[in-house]
Amino acid sequence: MATATMHGGLFKAFFNDPKVFPPRSYHDDLLVRVDDKLLIYEDEELCPIDSIADDSKVVIECGYIVKQDAVGNNTTRDIVEAYQEWEQKRARDMMTGVNQGERTQATVQLTVEFDRVHTERVKGFIEGIGGTIIKQP
């Protein structure tokens, strides 16, 4: 069985993308491993997706995306396949900077290591170029 591995920030971006989960859609039978702990998403309130840390290791084990049309008919899609296609499209869009004729923001997340004495300088540089510090020590 195929799985999909990503960091928590990308997992949340996938789940918060309205093209993946438009109105009247939801996930079903979702099994996710976060930092090697298995989570079963039967009730979003028990373990909200937005509570996962951006730097956590996330593995989607299985599940489905269920979309309901205007008359109540459901279609299902394997969530791992949907993620893989979403990630490929996201990577293409970031490389080209274009998404169906609209300009997209090509961003990247880095994990870096440097001498602690330079922390303020590095933070100042990142913020000076319009970047965002996602996690601070």
Per-residue model confidence as pLDDT tens digits over 77-108: 999 999 999 988 887 776 665 554 555 556 77
Per-residue model confidence as pLDDT tens digits over 37-77: 887 665 555 557 778 888 899 999 999 999 988 888 899 99
Q: Where are the domains of the chain?
A: 4-96
How far is the C-alpha of 84 from the C-alpha of 63, rounded, in Å?
Answer: 13
- pLDDT on residue 65: 93
End-to-end CA distance of the chain: 37
Q: Which residue has the higher pLDDT, 26 or 96?
A: 26
Q: Are 76 and 28 in contact (CB under 8 A)?
A: yes
The pTM score is: 0.64
